[in-house]
Homo-oligomer: A and B are copies of this chain.
């Protein structure tokens, strides 16, 4: 009943695709190209393995569609439980470890589902992580030898440039979110303390 299954990042991705409208496995592969594909795309065999499991968990419904000129297809549609599982899973997923970046991007991409306030918090949380990391990299750079560590320093500088790009984007985007959501003096609705 109330024990909503927790989904992995990949499952969120597939369920997120499905949240855009009913589709067959084949449709979802193509849909991915035009949407989340920017940041992540499922592998066919995994997709086809996942879909029946969603049905078993009650997160999706399945319907066989006969076609005469084309092979029959199986069309899936999210249930309310599926939509809810997607929302809570996205909210609960921590953007940490190796999958951090993919999860971060999912949360923003599916901002309509998690809500603007969660998007804002997600962006701020990552900005904090990024600022810390910048400090760490700068510390390392100070201790490095420009001759001996020439190549490692190149990767370090690329990392720094990309982190800077993130911070700029985050600042711009947070401002846009502020402008978009009704200004209430605190910067957002779910603010407390």
A interface residues, Cβ below 8 angstroms from B: 34-36, 38-39, 105, 108-112, 119, 137, 140, 150-152, 154-159, 161-162, 164-166, 168-169, 173, 180
Q: With A111-B150, A150-B111, A162-B162 given, is the CB distance from A38 to B155 under 8 Å?
A: yes
Query: How many angstroms between the C-alpha atoms of A119 and B38 in the bound complex?
Result: 27
Q: Which residue of B lies closest to A151 (CB)?
A: B111
Number of copies of this protein chain within its complex: 2
Q: With A108-B151, A151-B110, A151-B119 given, is the CB distance from A169 to B173 under 8 Å?
A: no
A155 neighbours in B (Cβ, 8 Å): 38-39, 105, 108-109
A161 neighbours in B (Cβ, 8 Å): 165-166, 168-169
Q: Which residue of B lies closest to A119 (CB)?
A: B151
Indicate if the CB atoms of B111 and A154 lie closer than 8 Å. yes
Given contacts A36-B152, A38-B159, 4 further A-B contacts (CB under 8 A): A38-B156, A119-B151, A158-B166, A164-B165
A157 → chain B, closest Cβ, in Å? 7
A156 neighbours in B (Cβ, 8 Å): 38
A192 → chain B, closest Cβ, in Å? 24
